[in-house]
Amino acid sequence: MKSTRLLSCLAAVAALTFGAASASAAMLSGEIGFIGTFEATGGTGLGDATGLSFAGDTNATVIIGSDDFAGQVGGSVTMNDFSFGSLPVDPLFTTAGGLSFVLTSISIDLQTDNALDITGTGVYSLAGFDDTVGTFQWTGDELGGLMTYSASGASPIPLPAGIWLMLSGLGVLAARRKLA
């Protein structure tokens, strides 16, 4: 009798686990990096800037990409102008390959007359993948009047929900066994 209940519970947990795993698309994983030019806005320079402006329709180039971002390398990037206090920025950037990033939070890590470092979080989107929460690091410098930046982003590699569901089901089974 106990073994029949145990097998029924295991079958239910397995059905829920595999059913949940097949119902969703893949999350994005990997890293991307690009370079370009910009202008500081809202102040007299980088030291008191309150936003960033990017000239032109395509104002950066993808220089590195790994895993799901590898197909973006060599493509152009359109960065959208934004103010540090005006979020979300939807999208912060879009690549020629269809990847986009919506900036939802920002932290200014360093701001001097010659350098600006920003960390942001948000959501990466690309056709064929689930929207994926990730980070974005932006570093800008002013050298001889030219402002250049490099940016990199990474999305986490999440543990699939099906595994969490299976582990919680096994925990319930263990608890029931102790009570029986």
Residue 28 burial class via C-beta count within 10 angstroms: exposed 0-12, middle 13-18, buried 19 and up: buried
pLDDT band at 22 (very low <50, low <70, confident <90, very high): very low
Tell me the C-alpha distance between 57 and 79, whole Å. Answer: 8
pLDDT in tens, 49-103: 999 999 876 789 999 999 999 999 999 999 999 999 999 999 999 999 999 999 9
Q: Pick the more confident residue, 71 or 146.
A: 71
The overall pTM is greater than 0.75: no
Inter-axis angle of helices 2-22 and 161-179, to 10 degrees? 170
**Residues 104 and 127: beta-carbon distance below 8 Å:** no
What confidence score (pLDDT) does residue 15 get?
47
Could you give the percent of the chain with pLDDT greater than 70? 73
Q: Pick the more confident residue, 178 or 172.
A: 178
What confidence score (pLDDT) does residue 120 get?
95
